[in-house]
Structure 1
């Protein structure tokens, strides 16, 4: 099992891809920012697993007071460098965290964790710790990877067609089948407590008294219209993407606290 800190410190190439406006990850970030803006007014926000800070930058342009935490010192350095000229005192806004603690005091109107949960062994414990920093009327936006997605089926099929009898090939195949990710994750699946579907993520937040107020499902397929207008899908399209999409993003709130 790989060390998660080292894994993300070695992922500087991912940070470059995530900032490419034509990449899936950049488009996902922009859509998450749109989802957030549709359901909560600008306020103090924390992005857990912020990487190089792109979601923070998108939300800062929409009026949010942004902060980001990440396990990787390399990713945080990239975020601080990119924030110069856009945010005041970026060194105080982007900080390295540990798997079990966050480096910011006070509470937040918005907490986001996009692309983080696949690398967290106990999702319930993670959400519980994070909720201690959320204001009573705040919103928590999180994503999970659906391992039984259309993307995974296509990726496995393509990988099988490129068969090579070596350890690396079999490692990628095991990663895709187990996690839906090419690189796999950094958790021990013999003891992991994770959500692997949209319904499971909804149930997790429901356990803490939060209700889904908005969602976003993305296929991550380079075929035609799959992810062109995800917020404009009809009822049948939303059902299909919720069950067959690769990434599910849910926005959750304590409705009785917000009065809505």
Structure 2
């Protein structure tokens, strides 16, 4: 029997990077997976990948900056599958990076807060409400944060603030609902091959492939393992946090970064 046979898993930001790898991993372990994101073409592509590999997956187009769509996302998942066992709040925007604090405008601030922080709170709000209603009661939630959330990053103040907020929400909710059988943990990811990271490197190098390659090499040299992580490696951490093997783990911020932050801890 596979670890998540018959379990229902909802993943936001499930069409690329860590979210995509997590959806594939859950499906491989027998879960019925609902993925949510704005990009319809990518959503259908990931759904098809999972189905062709023998997994069960549905794509639910969702704008995570809209409250009504986040509530509807949970309702649609439960309507399709009957319950919600695990949720991974993974969606994020890179807005809030690559500028000094005083250069951001209010629109950028509001968008970063809406997608990176408010959507996590709203996701938990409706996910937890469902987990409290269902029989048996309970479930597991993993919120994706970042090394930037452990301390303010230069040229990334707004993004860092949102990711620090995710960690605070995670720890608070974990304490509030532990007695109800709902575990809430965070993935603190750092240094992964993702479209977001490579998009940022491309912006920083101003479209110069050689400069982008050198920037990536600089990142790798800061990581003790001397490489960027594969999103599948982050996915395995998420699966463990949601699995029965982690039944006594809640309120935890699991750092997966190849040792990058070890000197700071």
TM-score bracket, normalised by the shorter chain, equals 0.3 to 0.5
As a proportion of its length, which structure holds more helix?
Answer: 2
Per the normalisation by structure 2, the TM-score is 0.42
